[in-house]
Structure 1
Amino acid sequence: MSDQQQAFLVKANGFVFTLTESDMAQADIVAEANHVYHLIYQHQSVNGKVLDASPDHKTMQVEVHGNTHDVNIKDSLDQMLDSMGYSAAGSKHIKEVKAPMPGLVLSVSVEAGQQVQEGDRLLILEAMKMENSIMIHAAATIKSVLVKAGQAVDKGQVLVVLE
């Protein structure tokens, strides 16, 4: 097993902070009636009510001390997809496809102006002696291809621009 803990990125009303698995293990949360919860964390106690929740988008609206807070929680996969220009919730239109890791472009399967469908392969990237197919996750039109076969790329480098 890995010693590395999963870290969750939490955004609440403009504030951003990270919670680890051990942070959450230290929290004592008790569900009460009608979506009301009692939380004890680091010797502090608070009651809150979940007003609305969207598990698909990993968002919720909570009320604490009479104030409403919009909360968004992202796990490590969501954070990685964001860094690649994707949204795990699929709520934003993707404009760029970025390299998920450093590697070597082995082949490019698309060209500017081409229509692609969800699941189509854009290119093959070799990283750590493994071939990785970079696929499109929604229908789109290719605006430009910024890499070619044989080119080395860095993690986060834009590979393909979409319209």
Structure 2
Amino acid sequence: MALELDGFAVLHRIGANRAAFEGISSEVAKVARSLLVKLLKDKRTGVDGVRAVRAALGAEPFALVVDGLTDAEIKSIAKRLDKHNPVLIDGDAATVRKLVGALADGSTEPASRPRAASRGNAKAPKSKKEPTAPKTIARVSFKSAGATRGR
């Protein structure tokens, strides 16, 4: 039976004792960056999750991670976080990076869903008709109501 290693505790100890782990410092940076990118690309990480990551890392390290993302990665993340923002349609990668940064620091909220444009040939809403008096129905003869069927 394999023992489970607490990865957070190990990474914390490595960070606290940099001198002892100097030989793997470049690998630690690569692993940390790849873990953060994986978290940002995860479908379950929403705006609140990205804000929590930015708060935990700080503004500068978070900005470095976002700047290191490819254009396709940053657009994918932005589309998941704020799919109705018009910047995603015609904005370049730098604008999309600014959008992700603004969403992460809380200065921008995700855009709401735009309303559908009204069509020119759409029917006008029907006006409510005034209720009319009910029609009087001629009396029904119940003469045949007493009839019986012969067998």
Which of the two has higher C-alpha Rg?
2
TM-score, normalised by the number of residues in structure 2:
0.26
TM-score, normalised by the number of residues in structure 1:
0.25
Structure 1 or 2: larger helix share? Answer: 2
